[in-house]
Structure 1
Amino acid sequence: MAIKPLALQQGDTVGIVTLGSPLDADVINRRIAYLQSMGLKVIAGKYVYAQNGYLAGTDQERAEDLMNMFADERVKMILPSRGGVGVEGILPYLDYDYIRGHPKIVSGYSDITVLLNALTQFSGIVTLHSLLLIDFRPGTPPYNFEQFFTATSSVVVPRPLNNPPEKPLSGKVPGSASGPIVGGNLTSLVGSLGTPFEIDTTGKILLLEETHEPVNTVYRYVEQLKLAGKFNDCSGILLGECTNCMDAYGQTYEDLINDFIVPLGKPLLTNLASGHGVYKAAIPIGAFANMNASNGLITFLEPAVRY
Protein backbone atom coordinates (compact mmCIF):
# COMPACT_ATOMS: atom_id res chain seq x y z
CA MET A 1 0.00 0.00 0.00
CA ALA A 2 1.26 3.47 -0.88
CA ILE A 3 2.67 5.80 1.78
CA LYS A 4 0.33 8.64 2.61
CA PRO A 5 1.30 12.08 3.92
CA LEU A 6 -0.48 13.67 6.85
CA ALA A 7 -3.77 15.40 6.07
CA LEU A 8 -3.88 19.17 5.69
CA GLN A 9 -5.60 21.15 8.44
CA GLN A 10 -6.51 24.78 9.03
CA GLY A 11 -3.41 26.76 10.03
CA ASP A 12 -0.92 24.30 8.53
CA THR A 13 2.16 25.49 6.66
CA VAL A 14 2.56 25.23 2.89
CA GLY A 15 5.99 25.29 1.25
CA ILE A 16 6.11 27.16 -2.07
CA VAL A 17 8.70 26.13 -4.66
CA THR A 18 9.28 26.92 -8.33
CA LEU A 19 10.48 23.75 -10.00
CA GLY A 20 10.24 24.49 -13.72
CA SER A 21 9.79 27.79 -15.50
CA PRO A 22 10.05 31.08 -13.58
CA LEU A 23 6.99 33.03 -12.52
CA ASP A 24 6.71 36.78 -12.04
CA ALA A 25 7.28 37.75 -8.41
CA ASP A 26 4.11 39.86 -8.27
CA VAL A 27 2.03 36.88 -9.37
CA ILE A 28 3.68 34.63 -6.78
CA ASN A 29 3.09 37.16 -4.01
CA ARG A 30 -0.57 37.67 -4.92
CA ARG A 31 -1.20 33.93 -5.00
CA ILE A 32 0.58 33.48 -1.66
CA ALA A 33 -1.61 36.19 -0.14
CA TYR A 34 -4.72 34.41 -1.40
CA LEU A 35 -3.49 31.12 0.06
CA GLN A 36 -2.91 32.84 3.39
CA SER A 37 -6.42 34.32 3.26
CA MET A 38 -7.71 30.74 3.25
CA GLY A 39 -6.15 30.12 6.65
CA LEU A 40 -2.83 28.55 5.66
CA LYS A 41 0.69 29.64 6.56
CA VAL A 42 3.37 29.89 3.88
CA ILE A 43 7.11 29.36 3.64
CA ALA A 44 8.73 30.32 0.32
CA GLY A 45 11.74 28.44 -1.01
CA LYS A 46 15.10 30.16 -1.39
CA TYR A 47 14.89 30.05 -5.19
CA VAL A 48 11.15 30.52 -5.65
CA TYR A 49 11.68 33.88 -7.42
CA ALA A 50 14.83 32.81 -9.31
CA GLN A 51 15.19 33.25 -13.05
CA ASN A 52 17.74 31.46 -15.17
CA GLY A 53 16.42 32.02 -18.68
CA TYR A 54 13.44 29.69 -19.12
CA LEU A 55 14.22 27.99 -15.79
CA ALA A 56 13.75 29.15 -12.21
CA GLY A 57 17.36 28.64 -11.17
CA THR A 58 19.64 25.70 -11.91
CA ASP A 59 18.46 22.09 -11.68
CA GLN A 60 20.42 21.67 -8.45
CA GLU A 61 18.94 24.84 -6.91
CA ARG A 62 15.37 23.85 -7.70
CA ALA A 63 15.99 20.33 -6.35
CA GLU A 64 17.55 21.82 -3.20
CA ASP A 65 14.44 23.91 -2.58
CA LEU A 66 12.23 20.85 -2.88
CA MET A 67 14.39 18.71 -0.59
CA ASN A 68 14.49 21.52 1.99
CA MET A 69 10.69 21.50 2.06
CA PHE A 70 10.66 17.74 2.71
CA ALA A 71 13.16 18.29 5.52
CA ASP A 72 11.31 21.20 7.15
CA GLU A 73 9.13 19.78 9.93
CA ARG A 74 6.84 22.82 9.77
CA VAL A 75 5.79 22.12 6.18
CA LYS A 76 2.70 19.93 5.69
CA MET A 77 2.20 20.48 1.96
CA ILE A 78 4.52 21.38 -0.93
CA LEU A 79 2.91 23.49 -3.63
CA PRO A 80 4.83 24.34 -6.82
CA SER A 81 4.11 27.81 -8.16
CA ARG A 82 3.68 26.56 -11.74
CA GLY A 83 4.84 23.94 -14.23
CA GLY A 84 6.26 25.16 -17.52
CA VAL A 85 9.39 23.27 -18.55
CA GLY A 86 12.38 21.76 -16.80
CA VAL A 87 10.91 19.79 -13.92
CA GLU A 88 12.54 16.60 -15.21
CA GLY A 89 15.92 18.28 -14.67
CA ILE A 90 15.59 18.09 -10.88
CA LEU A 91 14.73 14.39 -10.72
CA PRO A 92 18.33 13.04 -10.56
CA TYR A 93 19.10 15.31 -7.60
CA LEU A 94 16.30 14.15 -5.30
CA ASP A 95 16.83 11.78 -2.37
CA TYR A 96 13.93 9.38 -2.82
CA ASP A 97 14.79 7.32 0.27
CA TYR A 98 14.69 10.43 2.44
CA ILE A 99 11.39 11.49 0.88
CA ARG A 100 9.95 8.05 1.61
CA GLY A 101 10.63 8.63 5.30
CA HIS A 102 9.33 12.22 5.27
CA PRO A 103 6.20 12.18 3.08
CA LYS A 104 4.44 15.47 2.38
CA ILE A 105 1.44 16.39 0.23
CA VAL A 106 2.71 17.40 -3.21
CA SER A 107 0.19 18.84 -5.68
CA GLY A 108 0.39 20.00 -9.27
CA TYR A 109 -0.16 19.25 -12.94
CA SER A 110 1.37 20.12 -16.34
CA ASP A 111 5.17 19.61 -16.21
CA ILE A 112 4.86 18.77 -12.49
CA THR A 113 3.42 15.46 -13.77
CA VAL A 114 6.92 13.96 -14.03
CA LEU A 115 7.63 14.80 -10.39
CA LEU A 116 4.32 13.39 -9.14
CA ASN A 117 4.93 10.07 -10.85
CA ALA A 118 8.61 9.88 -9.89
CA LEU A 119 7.78 10.45 -6.22
CA THR A 120 5.12 7.75 -6.37
CA GLN A 121 7.32 5.33 -8.29
CA PHE A 122 10.58 5.76 -6.38
CA SER A 123 9.49 6.96 -2.93
CA GLY A 124 6.16 5.12 -2.76
CA ILE A 125 4.18 8.19 -1.66
CA VAL A 126 0.76 9.27 -2.90
CA THR A 127 0.88 12.59 -4.74
CA LEU A 128 -1.92 14.74 -6.10
CA HIS A 129 -2.73 15.72 -9.68
CA SER A 130 -4.47 18.91 -8.66
CA LEU A 131 -3.91 22.62 -8.08
CA LEU A 132 -0.74 24.70 -8.40
CA LEU A 133 -0.07 27.97 -6.59
CA ILE A 134 -1.19 29.90 -9.69
CA ASP A 135 -4.70 28.50 -9.18
CA PHE A 136 -5.14 30.19 -5.80
CA ARG A 137 -6.96 33.27 -7.01
CA PRO A 138 -10.49 34.70 -6.95
CA GLY A 139 -11.39 33.42 -10.44
CA THR A 140 -10.82 29.75 -9.65
CA PRO A 141 -14.10 27.76 -9.69
CA PRO A 142 -15.31 26.61 -6.25
CA TYR A 143 -15.35 23.06 -7.67
CA ASN A 144 -11.55 23.10 -7.91
CA PHE A 145 -11.07 24.15 -4.29
CA GLU A 146 -13.68 21.65 -3.07
CA GLN A 147 -11.85 18.87 -4.91
CA PHE A 148 -8.45 20.00 -3.65
CA PHE A 149 -9.34 20.38 0.01
CA THR A 150 -11.37 17.16 0.08
CA ALA A 151 -8.43 15.19 -1.32
CA THR A 152 -5.91 16.81 1.03
CA SER A 153 -7.96 16.51 4.21
CA SER A 154 -10.38 13.57 3.96
CA VAL A 155 -9.63 9.90 4.59
CA VAL A 156 -13.16 8.72 3.77
CA VAL A 157 -13.24 5.83 1.29
CA PRO A 158 -14.69 4.60 -0.94
CA ARG A 159 -15.13 8.05 -2.44
CA PRO A 160 -16.57 8.70 -5.90
CA LEU A 161 -14.94 11.19 -8.24
CA ASN A 162 -17.58 13.73 -9.14
CA ASN A 163 -16.99 15.53 -12.42
CA PRO A 164 -18.76 18.91 -12.72
CA PRO A 165 -22.49 18.31 -13.38
CA GLU A 166 -22.30 19.89 -16.84
CA LYS A 167 -19.34 17.67 -17.81
CA PRO A 168 -20.36 14.02 -17.36
CA LEU A 169 -17.76 11.32 -17.81
CA SER A 170 -18.17 9.37 -21.03
CA GLY A 171 -17.53 5.63 -21.31
CA LYS A 172 -15.99 4.82 -24.70
CA VAL A 173 -14.94 1.22 -24.13
CA PRO A 174 -17.07 -0.70 -21.61
CA GLY A 175 -15.59 -2.68 -18.77
CA SER A 176 -13.98 -2.03 -15.42
CA ALA A 177 -10.39 -1.64 -14.30
CA SER A 178 -8.71 -1.38 -10.93
CA GLY A 179 -5.29 -0.28 -9.82
CA PRO A 180 -3.32 2.76 -8.73
CA ILE A 181 -3.79 5.83 -10.93
CA VAL A 182 -0.66 7.14 -12.66
CA GLY A 183 -0.03 9.68 -15.40
CA GLY A 184 -1.08 13.23 -16.15
CA ASN A 185 0.17 15.52 -18.88
CA LEU A 186 0.82 13.61 -22.11
CA THR A 187 3.77 15.71 -23.32
CA SER A 188 5.52 15.34 -19.96
CA LEU A 189 4.98 11.59 -19.82
CA VAL A 190 6.33 11.08 -23.34
CA GLY A 191 9.40 13.05 -22.28
CA SER A 192 10.08 10.47 -19.56
CA LEU A 193 10.36 7.57 -22.01
CA GLY A 194 13.84 6.12 -22.31
CA THR A 195 14.98 7.75 -19.06
CA PRO A 196 15.46 6.25 -15.57
CA PHE A 197 12.19 8.02 -14.68
CA GLU A 198 10.05 6.42 -17.40
CA ILE A 199 6.50 5.99 -16.20
CA ASP A 200 5.46 2.49 -15.11
CA THR A 201 1.89 1.71 -16.17
CA THR A 202 1.86 -2.02 -15.36
CA GLY A 203 -1.49 -2.90 -13.81
CA LYS A 204 -2.35 0.76 -13.36
CA ILE A 205 -5.06 3.13 -14.57
CA LEU A 206 -3.39 5.56 -16.97
CA LEU A 207 -4.52 9.19 -16.81
CA LEU A 208 -3.77 11.44 -19.81
CA GLU A 209 -4.54 15.09 -20.55
CA GLU A 210 -3.04 17.67 -22.88
CA THR A 211 -3.15 21.35 -23.79
CA HIS A 212 -2.36 23.67 -26.70
CA GLU A 213 -1.19 20.96 -29.12
CA PRO A 214 -2.58 20.30 -32.60
CA VAL A 215 -4.31 16.95 -32.88
CA ASN A 216 -1.67 15.52 -35.20
CA THR A 217 0.97 16.19 -32.51
CA VAL A 218 -1.25 14.55 -29.90
CA TYR A 219 -1.46 11.54 -32.22
CA ARG A 220 2.35 11.42 -32.38
CA TYR A 221 2.58 11.33 -28.58
CA VAL A 222 -0.17 8.72 -28.23
CA GLU A 223 1.57 6.54 -30.80
CA GLN A 224 4.87 6.88 -28.94
CA LEU A 225 3.25 5.71 -25.70
CA LYS A 226 1.67 2.84 -27.62
CA LEU A 227 4.99 1.74 -29.14
CA ALA A 228 6.58 1.95 -25.68
CA GLY A 229 4.00 -0.59 -24.43
CA LYS A 230 2.34 1.75 -21.97
CA PHE A 231 -1.18 0.95 -23.18
CA ASN A 232 -0.51 -2.80 -23.24
CA ASP A 233 0.63 -2.66 -19.62
CA CYS A 234 -2.15 -0.51 -18.15
CA SER A 235 -5.44 -1.85 -16.79
CA GLY A 236 -7.58 1.04 -18.01
CA ILE A 237 -7.38 4.48 -19.62
CA LEU A 238 -8.75 7.71 -18.17
CA LEU A 239 -8.69 10.66 -20.57
CA GLY A 240 -8.96 14.28 -19.54
CA GLU A 241 -9.51 17.19 -21.86
CA CYS A 242 -7.26 18.34 -24.65
CA THR A 243 -7.57 21.99 -23.63
CA ASN A 244 -7.31 24.46 -26.51
CA CYS A 245 -5.99 21.71 -28.79
CA MET A 246 -6.35 22.61 -32.44
CA ASP A 247 -7.98 20.43 -35.09
CA ALA A 248 -5.59 19.25 -37.81
CA TYR A 249 -6.30 17.98 -41.32
CA GLY A 250 -10.01 18.06 -40.50
CA GLN A 251 -9.55 15.75 -37.51
CA THR A 252 -10.58 16.53 -33.95
CA TYR A 253 -9.42 15.24 -30.56
CA GLU A 254 -12.61 13.17 -30.45
CA ASP A 255 -11.69 11.64 -33.81
CA LEU A 256 -8.26 10.72 -32.45
CA ILE A 257 -9.84 9.02 -29.44
CA ASN A 258 -12.22 7.02 -31.62
CA ASP A 259 -9.64 6.10 -34.26
CA PHE A 260 -6.57 5.31 -32.15
CA ILE A 261 -7.45 4.84 -28.47
CA VAL A 262 -10.80 3.04 -28.58
CA PRO A 263 -9.28 0.23 -30.72
CA LEU A 264 -6.77 -0.50 -27.96
CA GLY A 265 -9.66 -2.30 -26.26
CA LYS A 266 -8.90 -1.13 -22.71
CA PRO A 267 -11.73 0.16 -20.49
CA LEU A 268 -11.86 3.82 -21.43
CA LEU A 269 -13.43 6.84 -19.75
CA THR A 270 -13.16 10.29 -21.30
CA ASN A 271 -14.03 13.91 -20.52
CA LEU A 272 -12.44 13.98 -17.07
CA ALA A 273 -12.09 17.53 -15.73
CA SER A 274 -8.38 17.71 -14.97
CA GLY A 275 -5.09 19.46 -15.49
CA HIS A 276 -5.22 22.43 -17.82
CA GLY A 277 -9.00 22.72 -18.08
CA VAL A 278 -11.10 25.29 -16.25
CA TYR A 279 -12.36 22.60 -13.90
CA LYS A 280 -9.76 20.48 -12.14
CA ALA A 281 -10.59 17.24 -10.38
CA ALA A 282 -8.12 16.14 -7.70
CA ILE A 283 -6.63 12.77 -8.66
CA PRO A 284 -4.41 10.93 -6.14
CA ILE A 285 -1.44 9.55 -8.07
CA GLY A 286 -0.45 6.16 -6.71
CA ALA A 287 -3.71 5.55 -4.82
CA PHE A 288 -5.83 2.52 -5.65
CA ALA A 289 -9.04 3.22 -7.58
CA ASN A 290 -11.69 1.50 -9.65
CA MET A 291 -13.05 2.81 -12.93
CA ASN A 292 -16.23 1.47 -14.45
CA ALA A 293 -16.41 2.59 -18.05
CA SER A 294 -19.79 0.91 -18.50
CA ASN A 295 -21.40 3.14 -15.84
CA GLY A 296 -19.11 6.17 -16.15
CA LEU A 297 -17.86 5.91 -12.57
CA ILE A 298 -14.50 6.38 -10.89
CA THR A 299 -14.20 5.41 -7.23
CA PHE A 300 -11.16 6.08 -5.04
CA LEU A 301 -10.61 3.05 -2.81
CA GLU A 302 -7.65 4.55 -0.98
CA PRO A 303 -7.31 8.09 0.45
CA ALA A 304 -4.53 10.45 -0.55
CA VAL A 305 -3.69 11.33 3.06
CA ARG A 306 -3.75 9.95 6.60
CA TYR A 307 -4.37 11.30 10.10
Structure 2
Amino acid sequence: MALNKSIKYFLAVAKHGNIKRASDELYISQPSLTAAIKKLESEMGAPLFNRLSKGVELTAYGLKFREFAQEQQEHYFALKHQFNDMQQRQFGKVKIGTGEVWWEGFVKRSVMDYQAIHPASSFHLEFGNNLSLLHHLIQGDIDLFIGHEVSDLSESCRVAFQPLFQDFEALYVSNRHPLATGITNNGVISDYPLLRVTPNHPRHQSVLLNGLPHDELLDERIIYDVDSVMASIDMLHITQAVMPYSHRAQEWLTRHDLVAIHLDDEKIGNIGIYTKQGEAKRNVDELIELLKSNADIAYANVNSL
Protein backbone atom coordinates (compact mmCIF):
# COMPACT_ATOMS: atom_id res chain seq x y z
CA MET A 1 0.00 0.00 0.00
CA ALA A 2 1.34 3.45 -0.83
CA LEU A 3 0.06 6.82 0.25
CA ASN A 4 -2.34 8.09 -2.38
CA LYS A 5 -0.26 9.89 -5.00
CA SER A 6 -2.65 12.81 -5.21
CA ILE A 7 -2.28 13.49 -1.49
CA LYS A 8 1.48 13.03 -1.63
CA TYR A 9 1.79 15.41 -4.59
CA PHE A 10 -0.53 17.99 -3.04
CA LEU A 11 1.39 18.06 0.27
CA ALA A 12 4.71 18.51 -1.53
CA VAL A 13 3.41 21.49 -3.52
CA ALA A 14 1.74 22.97 -0.41
CA LYS A 15 5.00 22.65 1.53
CA HIS A 16 7.20 24.31 -1.09
CA GLY A 17 4.71 26.74 -2.62
CA ASN A 18 6.46 25.98 -5.88
CA ILE A 19 5.79 23.33 -8.54
CA LYS A 20 9.44 23.09 -9.62
CA ARG A 21 10.83 22.49 -6.13
CA ALA A 22 8.05 20.00 -5.36
CA SER A 23 8.71 18.06 -8.60
CA ASP A 24 12.44 17.88 -7.72
CA GLU A 25 11.59 16.42 -4.32
CA LEU A 26 9.17 13.90 -5.82
CA TYR A 27 11.49 12.94 -8.71
CA ILE A 28 8.82 13.54 -11.34
CA SER A 29 8.65 16.03 -14.18
CA GLN A 30 7.12 19.44 -13.62
CA PRO A 31 4.44 18.95 -16.33
CA SER A 32 3.42 15.62 -14.75
CA LEU A 33 3.05 17.22 -11.32
CA THR A 34 1.09 20.16 -12.76
CA ALA A 35 -1.25 17.76 -14.53
CA ALA A 36 -1.74 15.73 -11.34
CA ILE A 37 -2.65 18.84 -9.32
CA LYS A 38 -5.10 20.01 -11.99
CA LYS A 39 -6.72 16.56 -12.02
CA LEU A 40 -7.07 16.65 -8.23
CA GLU A 41 -8.67 20.08 -8.38
CA SER A 42 -11.07 18.82 -11.02
CA GLU A 43 -12.01 15.83 -8.85
CA MET A 44 -12.56 18.06 -5.81
CA GLY A 45 -14.50 20.63 -7.85
CA ALA A 46 -12.61 23.58 -6.40
CA PRO A 47 -9.27 25.37 -6.91
CA LEU A 48 -6.73 24.30 -4.29
CA PHE A 49 -3.97 26.71 -5.32
CA ASN A 50 -3.74 30.26 -6.55
CA ARG A 51 -1.12 30.54 -9.33
CA LEU A 52 1.33 33.38 -8.67
CA SER A 53 4.25 34.73 -10.70
CA LYS A 54 6.79 33.05 -8.39
CA GLY A 55 4.87 29.99 -7.28
CA VAL A 56 1.54 28.97 -5.80
CA GLU A 57 -0.37 29.55 -2.59
CA LEU A 58 -3.21 27.64 -0.97
CA THR A 59 -6.75 28.84 -1.46
CA ALA A 60 -9.35 28.55 1.31
CA TYR A 61 -10.28 25.19 -0.27
CA GLY A 62 -6.62 24.23 -0.33
CA LEU A 63 -6.19 25.01 3.37
CA LYS A 64 -9.13 22.77 4.16
CA PHE A 65 -7.83 20.00 1.92
CA ARG A 66 -4.40 20.24 3.59
CA GLU A 67 -5.98 19.39 6.95
CA PHE A 68 -7.54 16.30 5.39
CA ALA A 69 -4.33 15.34 3.58
CA GLN A 70 -2.19 15.66 6.71
CA GLU A 71 -4.62 13.51 8.68
CA GLN A 72 -4.50 10.85 5.96
CA GLN A 73 -0.71 10.94 5.98
CA GLU A 74 -0.59 10.55 9.76
CA HIS A 75 -3.05 7.63 9.64
CA TYR A 76 -0.99 5.99 6.91
CA PHE A 77 2.28 6.18 8.81
CA ALA A 78 0.59 5.07 12.04
CA LEU A 79 -0.83 2.04 10.21
CA LYS A 80 2.59 1.21 8.77
CA HIS A 81 4.05 1.39 12.28
CA GLN A 82 1.33 -0.94 13.60
CA PHE A 83 1.96 -3.44 10.80
CA ASN A 84 5.69 -3.38 11.52
CA ASP A 85 4.98 -3.82 15.21
CA MET A 86 2.75 -6.83 14.51
CA GLN A 87 5.46 -8.42 12.38
CA GLN A 88 8.07 -7.84 15.08
CA ARG A 89 5.86 -9.49 17.69
CA GLN A 90 5.37 -12.52 15.44
CA PHE A 91 9.14 -12.97 15.62
CA GLY A 92 9.08 -12.85 19.43
CA LYS A 93 9.42 -9.16 20.25
CA VAL A 94 8.11 -8.33 23.72
CA LYS A 95 7.00 -4.81 24.66
CA ILE A 96 7.36 -4.06 28.37
CA GLY A 97 6.34 -1.10 30.48
CA THR A 98 7.97 -0.49 33.85
CA GLY A 99 9.00 2.09 36.38
CA GLU A 100 12.70 2.74 36.84
CA VAL A 101 12.82 1.33 40.38
CA TRP A 102 11.31 -1.98 39.23
CA TRP A 103 13.69 -2.06 36.28
CA GLU A 104 16.62 -1.80 38.66
CA GLY A 105 15.07 -4.18 41.16
CA PHE A 106 14.15 -7.20 39.07
CA VAL A 107 12.91 -6.41 35.55
CA LYS A 108 16.42 -5.95 34.13
CA ARG A 109 17.44 -9.35 35.54
CA SER A 110 14.35 -10.94 33.97
CA VAL A 111 15.11 -9.43 30.55
CA MET A 112 18.68 -10.75 30.80
CA ASP A 113 17.41 -14.23 31.69
CA TYR A 114 14.90 -14.19 28.85
CA GLN A 115 17.56 -13.01 26.41
CA ALA A 116 19.85 -15.86 27.50
CA ILE A 117 17.08 -18.38 26.71
CA HIS A 118 16.03 -16.65 23.47
CA PRO A 119 19.12 -14.87 22.10
CA ALA A 120 17.27 -13.84 18.91
CA SER A 121 14.47 -12.13 20.85
CA SER A 122 13.98 -8.36 20.91
CA PHE A 123 12.42 -5.93 23.36
CA HIS A 124 10.69 -2.58 23.49
CA LEU A 125 11.00 -0.89 26.90
CA GLU A 126 8.57 1.84 27.93
CA PHE A 127 9.23 3.78 31.15
CA GLY A 128 6.49 5.77 32.85
CA ASN A 129 3.97 5.94 35.65
CA ASN A 130 0.95 3.70 36.19
CA LEU A 131 -1.64 5.70 34.29
CA SER A 132 0.53 6.32 31.23
CA LEU A 133 1.53 2.64 31.07
CA LEU A 134 -2.09 1.55 31.54
CA HIS A 135 -3.01 3.80 28.64
CA HIS A 136 -0.29 2.23 26.46
CA LEU A 137 -1.41 -1.27 27.46
CA ILE A 138 -5.06 -0.60 26.63
CA GLN A 139 -4.04 0.92 23.28
CA GLY A 140 -2.01 -2.21 22.49
CA ASP A 141 1.33 -0.38 22.49
CA ILE A 142 2.82 -2.72 25.11
CA ASP A 143 2.21 -6.36 26.09
CA LEU A 144 2.51 -5.93 29.85
CA PHE A 145 3.70 -3.52 32.49
CA ILE A 146 4.93 -3.72 36.05
CA GLY A 147 3.51 -1.21 38.48
CA HIS A 148 1.21 -0.47 41.41
CA GLU A 149 -2.34 -1.79 41.39
CA VAL A 150 -4.87 0.91 40.53
CA SER A 151 -8.03 0.63 42.63
CA ASP A 152 -10.20 3.12 40.75
CA LEU A 153 -10.00 1.73 37.21
CA SER A 154 -12.72 2.47 34.70
CA GLU A 155 -14.94 -0.48 33.83
CA SER A 156 -13.88 -0.11 30.20
CA CYS A 157 -10.29 -1.09 31.07
CA ARG A 158 -10.19 -4.79 30.29
CA VAL A 159 -6.93 -5.63 32.04
CA ALA A 160 -5.74 -8.35 34.41
CA PHE A 161 -3.49 -7.81 37.43
CA GLN A 162 -1.14 -10.47 38.87
CA PRO A 163 0.22 -9.36 42.27
CA LEU A 164 3.92 -9.86 43.04
CA PHE A 165 4.61 -8.14 46.39
CA GLN A 166 3.69 -5.14 48.52
CA ASP A 167 5.49 -1.91 49.36
CA PHE A 168 5.10 1.07 51.66
CA GLU A 169 5.55 4.77 50.97
CA ALA A 170 8.83 6.20 52.24
CA LEU A 171 10.05 9.79 52.19
CA TYR A 172 13.50 10.45 50.72
CA VAL A 173 15.75 13.49 50.94
CA SER A 174 19.34 14.35 50.06
CA ASN A 175 21.86 13.21 52.67
CA ARG A 176 22.60 16.92 53.18
CA HIS A 177 18.97 17.82 53.87
CA PRO A 178 18.14 19.27 57.34
CA LEU A 179 15.74 16.37 57.91
CA ALA A 180 18.48 13.82 57.25
CA THR A 181 19.51 14.34 60.90
CA GLY A 182 16.52 12.24 61.97
CA ILE A 183 13.71 14.75 62.49
CA THR A 184 10.52 13.07 61.23
CA ASN A 185 7.73 15.24 62.62
CA ASN A 186 5.07 15.43 59.88
CA GLY A 187 4.50 19.13 60.48
CA VAL A 188 8.17 19.83 59.80
CA ILE A 189 8.19 17.64 56.69
CA SER A 190 5.22 19.50 55.23
CA ASP A 191 7.16 22.76 55.43
CA TYR A 192 9.51 21.54 52.69
CA PRO A 193 8.74 21.38 48.94
CA LEU A 194 7.24 18.17 47.63
CA LEU A 195 8.85 16.36 44.71
CA ARG A 196 6.51 14.05 42.75
CA VAL A 197 8.26 11.46 40.59
CA THR A 198 6.61 10.68 37.22
CA PRO A 199 3.32 12.31 38.31
CA ASN A 200 0.00 11.45 36.74
CA HIS A 201 -1.12 13.60 33.83
CA PRO A 202 -4.74 14.63 33.18
CA ARG A 203 -4.47 13.27 29.62
CA HIS A 204 -4.33 9.72 31.05
CA GLN A 205 -7.15 10.03 33.59
CA SER A 206 -9.64 8.41 31.21
CA VAL A 207 -8.51 5.03 32.61
CA LEU A 208 -9.88 6.04 36.03
CA LEU A 209 -13.49 5.68 37.04
CA ASN A 210 -13.67 9.03 38.86
CA GLY A 211 -10.74 10.91 37.34
CA LEU A 212 -7.72 12.26 39.19
CA PRO A 213 -8.31 13.18 42.86
CA HIS A 214 -7.54 16.68 44.10
CA ASP A 215 -5.65 17.23 47.37
CA GLU A 216 -6.45 20.69 48.73
CA LEU A 217 -3.57 20.41 51.22
CA LEU A 218 -1.14 20.70 48.31
CA ASP A 219 -2.65 23.87 46.85
CA GLU A 220 -0.23 26.20 48.64
CA ARG A 221 2.78 23.89 48.85
CA ILE A 222 5.76 24.21 46.51
CA ILE A 223 5.69 21.18 44.22
CA TYR A 224 8.23 19.87 41.73
CA ASP A 225 6.86 17.45 39.13
CA VAL A 226 9.62 15.44 37.43
CA ASP A 227 9.12 12.75 34.78
CA SER A 228 12.42 11.00 35.47
CA VAL A 229 13.69 9.22 38.58
CA MET A 230 17.30 10.12 37.80
CA ALA A 231 16.39 13.78 37.34
CA SER A 232 14.38 13.59 40.59
CA ILE A 233 17.50 12.42 42.41
CA ASP A 234 19.37 15.41 41.02
CA MET A 235 16.56 17.74 42.09
CA LEU A 236 16.71 16.43 45.66
CA HIS A 237 20.39 17.36 45.78
CA ILE A 238 19.72 20.77 44.23
CA THR A 239 16.74 21.64 46.46
CA GLN A 240 15.42 20.83 49.92
CA ALA A 241 12.47 18.88 48.55
CA VAL A 242 11.03 15.70 50.03
CA MET A 243 10.24 12.80 47.69
CA PRO A 244 7.63 10.11 48.44
CA TYR A 245 8.70 6.84 46.84
CA SER A 246 8.62 3.10 47.39
CA HIS A 247 10.54 1.74 50.37
CA ARG A 248 11.68 -1.03 48.03
CA ALA A 249 13.97 1.51 46.38
CA GLN A 250 15.88 2.37 49.56
CA GLU A 251 19.03 0.37 48.81
CA TRP A 252 19.22 1.73 45.25
CA LEU A 253 18.56 5.34 46.27
CA THR A 254 21.09 5.14 49.10
CA ARG A 255 23.75 4.53 46.46
CA HIS A 256 22.73 7.91 45.03
CA ASP A 257 23.27 9.66 48.39
CA LEU A 258 19.60 9.83 49.37
CA VAL A 259 18.26 9.10 52.85
CA ALA A 260 14.90 7.58 53.81
CA ILE A 261 13.61 9.69 56.70
CA HIS A 262 10.13 8.28 57.20
CA LEU A 263 8.06 5.19 56.43
CA ASP A 264 4.27 5.33 56.29
CA ASP A 265 3.24 1.72 56.87
CA GLU A 266 -0.40 2.67 56.39
CA LYS A 267 0.23 3.54 52.74
CA ILE A 268 0.51 0.02 51.40
CA GLY A 269 0.66 -0.66 47.68
CA ASN A 270 0.38 -3.85 45.67
CA ILE A 271 2.94 -4.18 42.88
CA GLY A 272 2.26 -6.62 40.10
CA ILE A 273 1.98 -7.29 36.40
CA TYR A 274 -0.78 -5.85 34.23
CA THR A 275 -1.77 -7.56 30.98
CA LYS A 276 -4.76 -7.24 28.66
CA GLN A 277 -7.56 -9.70 29.25
CA GLY A 278 -7.87 -12.49 26.69
CA GLU A 279 -4.49 -11.92 25.02
CA ALA A 280 -2.34 -14.80 26.25
CA LYS A 281 0.95 -15.15 24.37
CA ARG A 282 3.55 -17.83 24.99
CA ASN A 283 6.55 -15.50 24.97
CA VAL A 284 4.79 -13.01 27.28
CA ASP A 285 3.77 -15.79 29.67
CA GLU A 286 7.36 -17.05 29.74
CA LEU A 287 8.65 -13.60 30.61
CA ILE A 288 6.00 -13.23 33.34
CA GLU A 289 7.28 -16.39 35.03
CA LEU A 290 10.79 -14.93 35.03
CA LEU A 291 9.49 -11.67 36.47
CA LYS A 292 7.74 -13.54 39.29
CA SER A 293 10.84 -15.55 40.10
CA ASN A 294 13.21 -12.59 40.09
CA ALA A 295 10.82 -10.44 42.13
CA ASP A 296 10.77 -13.15 44.81
CA ILE A 297 14.56 -13.23 44.86
CA ALA A 298 15.01 -9.45 44.84
CA TYR A 299 12.58 -8.66 47.64
CA ALA A 300 12.52 -11.81 49.76
CA ASN A 301 14.05 -10.04 52.76
CA VAL A 302 13.03 -6.42 52.11
CA ASN A 303 9.96 -5.83 54.21
CA SER A 304 10.64 -2.57 56.00
CA LEU A 305 13.08 0.26 56.48
Q: TM-score range by the shorter chain?
A: under 0.3
TM-score by length of 1: 0.24
Q: Whose helix fraction is larger, Structure 1's or Structure 2's?
A: 2
